[in-house]
Structure formats: structure tokens, C-alpha cells
Structure 1
Amino acid sequence: MKKLVKLIIFVVALYIFLQVNNKWLVVTEHVYESERVPASFDGYRITQVTDLHDAIFGEGQERLIEKVRATNPDAIFITGDLIDSNRYDLDNSLDAVKGFVEMADVYYVLGNHEVATRKMTEIYTALTELGVHVMPNSATMLEQDGEQIIIAGIEDPLMGYTTQEMLDEALRDMPDDTLTLLLSHRPERFDTYVDNAIDIVFTGHAHGGQIRLPFIGGLVAPGQGYFPKYTAGTYKSGETTMVVSRGLGNSIVPYRIFNLPEIVVVELKKQ
């Protein structure tokens, strides 16, 4: 009887542990300080949401929406895998987007799961109708008080183009002397971002390494394999800082371990 009670307690504790690891939303804040930040953008806050994978955070995504609202964003970046190709439910993910567009300008690039569904046109159309700035290998100038920054986005390499080709297309008509913020799904293309001297790159895709261990970090990530290099936090080389969000949802592996769903905030600071 005692063994049965212990087994029940263990199963219940394990269930609670797994649910907490999948559902407890956290916010991670970073400050990007540079002389290239225009004075009018000092304090500008970007909230990044990535890899939702059709996960659910409350009815109508209420918990996720309120968590993002609390970050007081000036812009919201969605960096791919808004949906999951294994359980495609666009309406579920759009519930979150509907909340986002009410609080700030929303910019979006697709990830490998959108490409895998072969429903990119449907996704792009739905997001555009909600007022999202869809960024398929394109860029736009954002202006405040006569000063500008560039927001650019590239699609996933599964679309059939190299990261360099997509960057060339996106930044073709953009000046080199302007702070550039890039939305891109994949962190493993870091060297290409560095080669192009992109100021800040927002990425996801790695799911934080799925399972995170002290002193080791993430254990496995798509595109990087075991003990991946880029799973969470910021990475700097040359003129480039890359932000990697652990993301929100899961795909093939259903649970995150010591790897809480993450919303990332980057605040720009004039040096």
C-alpha cells in the first residue's frame, strides 16, 4: 500500500513539474547600448515572441497577451513558428496576435514550420489583415523625431534561398549607417549575420535546447544537434549582437525541462 501511495505521489508531482515547465511564462530583459542608437529611440522597447507552436496560454491566449502587455512594448517581433506543422491551428495562434496588435506595431517572419505546412499565403494574408507588418525578405524605415532605424526580416532557408541571398534582398535599398534590427528564425546562421554587420538579430528556433542543465545549457536544438552553441541569451561578435529566445511552445518533443517558456524584451539605449 505504501508503495502505491508513493507511486501516486511521484506521478502527481511529475505531472505538476512538467506542466509548470510548459506553462509558466517568464520575461527576460536585455539592454542594447550603442552610439548607433538614435537619441529619439533611447528607451525603445522591443518584445520578442517566438516559437508558439500553437501552444495555449489561457482562454484566447489571455495569459500570454497580458504578459506581453506588461512588458510595455513599443514594438513586438514574432520570429517564426507561430504555428506547428504537426497540429496546424492558425486560429488558436491568431488569438494571441489579435491581442498584440492592440498594444504595439507587430512585425513577423515565418519559421520552418510555416514553410512545412505549405500554407504560407494563408498565414501571410491572415496576419496582414490583422495589421501585422509581414517581412518576407524586406525592410522598412522606422522614424521618430526625424531619426531612423531599420527593421528587416528574412524568411526561413526552407524557402529555397540562402541566408545571404535573403539578406541581400531585404537590405538592398537600406543605408549602411543606420541601426538595423533583423528578425530571423534561425540562430545557427550567426556567422552570416556577423559577416553582414547586422546590429541586432532576433532569433528563436532552438527551443532553449529543450532540456537545460546547470553549467551545460541546452542539450539539443534543430539545426545544431546535441549540445548546441546558440540556445538562449545574447551572443556578440564584431558589430553584431544576436538575441536567442527560448520560445514558448513545443513540437515533436512535448515537454520542456528546466526551460520555462520565455518572452524576451530588448531595450535600446543611446551610449
Structure 2
Amino acid sequence: MKKITRRTFLKGSGALIPFLVSGFGYMYIRYIEPFYVHTVFKTLSSTTIPKELSGKRIVQFSDIHLSSTYTLKKLRRLVEQINSLSPDLVFFTGDLIDAPQQYKESGEIPPILKQIRAPLGKFAVYGNHDHGGFGTNLYEEIMRKSHFQLLKNSSVRIEGSDEKALVIYGLDDVMLGKPNLVQTLQNASQDFFSIVLVHEPDIAPEVARYPINLQLSGHTHGGQIQLPFIGPIVTPPYGTNYVEGLYTVQHTAMKLYVNRGLGTTRLPFRLLAPPELTIFTLNHIRP
């Protein structure tokens, strides 16, 4: 959790408090911003991206937190929105159900997620909520039935004809799982374009010790509630150093992108941290 001084809090919240306690302020943080999904477009350029993959699209989505707040109806609309972006690859970076053992509609999830179309594959990793509440096996079953390949300290390669490849690594959840960087990344090579999927972003400095081009994470919700001049009021464990957006990690060449996610947890509010879909376009460049 961030430490906020009284002066800083008053500076950031003074003009905002009247808005938040107003009827419109409540409606905005409860029913407007949480439903307004931003689409963020980024380009990934490298000489190691296979020529055949140049122009291909990756869609990352994260942190749905299915519950009475994020309903199956919203999930159906999300799938339609993802398909409208014409992805070639789809990555889900964890936290599907807010409280897995309390959720009564888990059987209705796979027929919805299965409709996501991605000709080069759909891949997912565990988040802390996916392991939490004895949800580990349930999440694995849901993703399998949804035709997502669950990467748990494992990898997959998409080969090019030019002796290049896109390598996708998936680490187990940092908080409640057993991520094994040595086992998973020991064969990483700078000859290939490598992407690591892991729910919590703050493991990035450890991932950056390996020849990885990009880490994709979620977990933080962008703080879920931010204040002007302050930023996020609260950030979760392993999500305090990297909160949202694109970073270059600590004197390395590795990039990190932190997706703000789609749902909410604990409180059904978002302020200055709108939900997000991220679209990455692969771009092969000549050496």
C-alpha cells in the first residue's frame, strides 16, 4: 500500500470529494467508468519477430473478476468486443472469477469464452484469485473447456520460416502459485522474440535477468481508484512498483506492460482507472 501524507491527500482529494459524494459522482464511479472499456493500441517491433507474423494482432485482457457485479452478460459483450478487434493471438493474464468457490455459474463460462476467435491460439495464466478459495482445478477446467492453453511454468513456440520464432512463456501466479523462473526461462534466447505472461507485474526485475523482450501482466486494476496528483490510493502486493501502462524495466531492454483489467474487486468502483483491452501489433523490422 502506498504511503500518503495528509497534505498530499488533501491536495489530491480536496476538489474531488464533493464530486464523489454527489449523486452524479457515485453514478460515475459505479455505473459509468467501470463499463467504459478503453482500447489501447501498441506496436511491438523487432528483428526477431518472424516475417510471417508481421502485422498480426495480439489482444491482452485481464482481471475479469466474474461476480454479481461483472456478470455473464458483460462477459458476452466482452467476447464480442474482442472478436471485433480481429485478434490473431489472445492472452488472458489471470483472475477470472472473484471468489471461485462461491460462484454458482462457472459451468456457463466456457461456452462464452470458447467463442473468442484467435487463429494462432488463446493462452492464459493463473492469477491469485484463480488459485484462491480452492479454485485451482476449477480454473484449469474452465480454460480447457474454453479452448485456452493454460501456461503454468511452460511455454509455446510459434515458428517462422526465417528461423525466427515467437516464444510465449507463462509463469504460475506469484502470490498463491509456484512460479519457477529457472525451469521456465532457462532456454530463453535473444535469437527469438519472447513474451512472458505472469499475473503480478512486480516480478519483472527477476524476469528481466533473462533475454525476454516483453512481460505482460495485470493484477493492479490500475489502482482501481486514483486521485489527481496522487495516483492509486491502494495497490496490491506485487503490484506496487508497476501499476499501469508501459515500462522499461530497471536498466534492461525488457519492456513491461500492465493492463488495468476489466472487472473490480472488493469495491465495484473505478475512478481514473478505466477498464482496458490492449492490442499489440507485431512488426518485423530488417536487421
* TM bracket, shorter-chain basis: 0.7 to 0.9
Q: Please state how far the C-alpha of 1:145 moved relative to its aligned partner.
A: 3.8
Amino acid at match of 1:114: D
Q: Distance in 2 between matches of 1:42 and 1:70?
A: 20
3-state SS of 1:247 partner: coil
Q: Please state how far the C-alpha of 1:175 moved relative to its aligned partner.
A: 4.4
**Equivalent residue, structure 1, for 2:57:** 45
**Equivalent residue, structure 1, for 2:93:** 79
Given that 1:18 and 1:256 are in contact with CA atoms closer than 8 Å, whether structure 2 keeps it comes out as: yes
Q: Please state how far the C-alpha of 1:254 moved relative to its aligned partner.
A: 2.1
Is residue 211 from structure 1 mapped to residue 228 from structure 2 by the alignment? no
Q: TM-score, normalised on structure 1?
A: 0.85
Cα deviation digits, residues 204-241 of structure 1 (max 9, x gap): 0011011234454333210157xx43111111132211
Q: Distance in 2 between matches of 1:120 and 1:17?
A: 31
Please list, as runs of the form range in 1=range in 2, the aligned pairs for 1:51-130 lying within 5 A after superposition.
Answer: 51-54=63-66, 56=70, 59=73, 61-85=75-99, 87-88=102-103, 89-91=105-107, 93-94=109-110, 96-101=112-117, 105-130=121-146
CA separation of 1:92/1:103 partners in 2, compared to 1, >3 Å: closer, same or farther?
A: farther
Please list, as runs of the form range in 1=range in 2, the aligned pairs for 1:100-179 lying within 5 A after superposition.
Answer: 100-101=116-117, 105-145=121-161, 147-159=164-176, 161=178, 163=179, 166-173=180-187, 175-179=189-193
**Equivalent residue, structure 2, for 1:23:** 35
Q: Distance in 1 between matches of 2:268 and 2:132?
A: 19
Q: Please state how far the C-alpha of 1:149 moved relative to its aligned partner.
A: 1.2
Is residue 245 from structure 1 mapped to residue 262 from structure 2 by the alignment? no
CA separation of 1:160/1:117 partners in 2, compared to 1, >3 Å: closer, same or farther?
A: same
Q: Distance in 1 between matches of 2:277 and 2:36?
A: 11
Q: Please state how far the C-alpha of 1:71 moved relative to its aligned partner.
A: 1.7
CA separation of 1:128/1:153 partners in 2, compared to 1, >3 Å: closer, same or farther?
A: same
Runs of 5+ in structure 2 lacking a partner? Answer: 1-20
Cα deviation digits, residues 73-120 of structure 1 (max 9, x gap): 111100010111275353465454222257662100010111112121
Q: Please state how far the C-alpha of 1:184 moved relative to its aligned partner.
A: 0.4
Count of residues in correspondence between the two structures: 258
Given that 1:136 and 1:155 are in contact with CA atoms closer than 8 Å, whether structure 2 keeps it comes out as: yes
Given that 1:101 and 1:132 are in contact with CA atoms closer than 8 Å, whether structure 2 keeps it comes out as: no
Q: Distance in 2 between matches of 1:13 and 1:158?
A: 34
**Equivalent residue, structure 2, for 1:192:** 206
Amino acid at match of 1:18: R
Comparing 72-81 with 48-57, greater Cα deviation is found at 48-57
Q: Distance in 2 between matches of 1:56 and 1:104?
A: 28
CA separation of 1:34/1:144 partners in 2, compared to 1, >3 Å: closer, same or farther?
A: closer
Alignment RMSD: 2.5
3-state SS of 1:100 partner: coil
Q: Distance in 2 between matches of 1:186 and 1:98?
A: 25
Amino acid at match of 2:166: I
What is the percent sequence identity of the aligned residues?
Answer: 26
CA separation of 1:160/1:97 partners in 2, compared to 1, >3 Å: closer, same or farther?
A: closer
Comparing 138-147 with 237-246, greater Cα deviation is found at 138-147
CA separation of 1:120/1:47 partners in 2, compared to 1, >3 Å: closer, same or farther?
A: same
3-state SS of 1:158 partner: coil
Q: Please state how far the C-alpha of 1:58 moved relative to its aligned partner.
A: 6.7
3-state SS of 2:243 partner: coil
